[in-house]
């Protein structure tokens, strides 16, 4: 029977957040000390990533030791230095004879449009996220970690956007476990796929109504909307399913359907939408089932991200607009 579980129930993974709260930016780390078979799929047209080429199926290294999600635009890639330092201190990494080199891919989102754009996630914050990483305690959702400064619905700019955030979700059937951690910072609206309603997105605060990103784009054919900033949703799917690196790359590709079901539009030229996968490679499972469940956990993690977010830097949240009506 398929059942919902907590994200921390997927053993061997530790998840940690750290943020510069007043600046509305932060990072999130997923650590697997033993190494996890990993893949990635980059779908957005404006990505910011680290070590994704290493995850190509034909390349040497099969496992990662940590994957990070970060705010701060390209500056946020600097969190990797702190993560590398922490893992090296713990003697975690790929043995090259003279050292253990931690394999740490990651991706960033653009959150410089709110908060303090001069303060970005750095090596110190990456190190702190590792110190905060836990496999036992509940993982906080909402305006935390990489979701601290995330926003959604930005075709008309910051005066009409809403708060995004970070969400998690996990499922189990038999011995198979699968979950997702997603930082939601999309150009488009966030949709409840069960009924097609908008949960968060481009919002007229004076009239108290959603304006629908797709309708706005259709009505502005000859105009320039705010197409060049503030976007990208990034996530990690974690599982214990047995799979090769090539298969984990395919699962990452399939998992993007979860973005497509909940973000309208998704994978735009100004989103750097990226999904990583990590597996402890333990449980035999039909990979078609694993792919289907990867979509489901991404989908619900996106919804949980916006439903748990709080109003930040004047960006209204789902809680403030929908839940409290």
| pLDDT for res 224 | 59
| pLDDT for res 322 | 76
Q: Which pTM was predicted? A: 0.95
| pLDDT for res 221 | 65
* pLDDT (tens digit per residue) in 238-256: 999 999 999 999 999 999 9
* pLDDT (tens digit per residue) in 13-30: 999 999 999 999 999 999
Q: Looking at the DSSP assignment, which residues form a beta bridge with residue 20?
A: 25
CB 98 within 8 A of CB 49: no
* pLDDT (tens digit per residue) in 75-126: 999 999 999 999 999 999 998 889 889 999 999 999 999 999 999 999 999 9
Q: Looking at the DSSP assignment, which residues form a beta bridge with residue 4?
A: 171
Instruction: For residue 250, give both structure tokens.
Output: 């395919």
CB 171 within 8 A of CB 3: yes
Q: Taking all residues of the chain, what is their mean pLDDT, rounded to a whole number? A: 94
Instruction: For residue 199, give both structure tokens.
Output: 């949960």
Phi-psi region of 135 (alpha: psi -120 to 50; beta: other; left: phi over 0): alpha
Round to whole Å and give the CA distance between 107 and 86: 19
212 confidence band (pLDDT: 50, 70, 90): confident
Other C-beta atoms closer than 10 Å to the C-beta of 40 total: 24
Round to whole Å and give the CA distance between 130 and 66: 10
DSSP string, 167-179: EEEEEEETTEEEE
| pLDDT for res 122 | 98
Q: How far is CA 201 from CA 191, 204, 209, in A?
A: 9, 10, 10
Q: Please report, for the chain, the start and end positions of each structural domain, with discontinuous segments joined by +.
A: 3-323
CATH class (in words) of the domain with range 3-323: alpha beta
* pLDDT (tens digit per residue) in 264-312: 999 888 888 999 999 999 999 999 999 999 999 999 999 999 999 999 9
Helix (H) or strand (E) holding 288: helix 287-308
Phi, psi of 320 (to 5 degrees): -75, -35
| Percentage of the residues of the chain whose pLDDT score is greater than 70 | 96
């Amino acid at each position: 029977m398929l059942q919902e579980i907590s994200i921390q129930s997927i053993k061997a993974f530790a998840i940690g957040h750290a943020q510069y709260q007043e600046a509305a930016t932060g990072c999130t780390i997923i650590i697997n000390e033993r190494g996890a078979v990993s893949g990635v799929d980059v779908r957005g047209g404006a990505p910011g990533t680290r070590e994704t080429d290493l995850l190509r199926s034909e390349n040497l290294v099969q496992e990662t030791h940590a994957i990070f999600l970060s705010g701060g635009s390209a500056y946020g890639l600097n969190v990797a230095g702190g993560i590398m330092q922490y893992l090296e201190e713990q003697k975690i990494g790929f043995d090259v004879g003279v050292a253990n080199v931690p394999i740490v891919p990651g991706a960033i989102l653009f959150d410089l449009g709110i908060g303090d754009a001069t303060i970005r996630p750095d090596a110190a914050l990456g190190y702190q996220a590792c110190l905060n990483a836990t496999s036992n305690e509940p993982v906080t959702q909402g305006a935390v970690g990489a979701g601290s400064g995330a926003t959604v619905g930005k075709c008309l700019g910051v005066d009409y956007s809403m708060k995004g955030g970070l969400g998690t979700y996990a499922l189990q059937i038999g011995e198979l476990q699968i979950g997702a951690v997603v930082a939601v910072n999309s150009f488009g609206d966030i949709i409840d796929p069960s009924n097609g309603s908008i949960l968060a997105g481009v919002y007229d605060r004076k009239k108290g109504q959603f304006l629908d990103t797709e309708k706005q784009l259709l009505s502005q054919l000859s105009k320039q909307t705010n197409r060049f900033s503030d976007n990208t949703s990034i996530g990690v799917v974690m599982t214990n399913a047995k799979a090769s690196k090539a298969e984990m790359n395919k699962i990452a590709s399939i998992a993007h359907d979860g973005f497509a079901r909940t973000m309208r539009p998704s994978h735009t030229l100004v989103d750097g939408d990226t999904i990583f996968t990590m597996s402890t490679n333990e449980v035999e499972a039909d990979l078609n089932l694993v792919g289907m469940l990867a979509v489901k956990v991404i989908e619900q993690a996106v919804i949980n991200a916006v439903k748990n977010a709080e109003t930040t830097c004047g960006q209204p949240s789902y809680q403030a607009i929908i839940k409290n009506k």
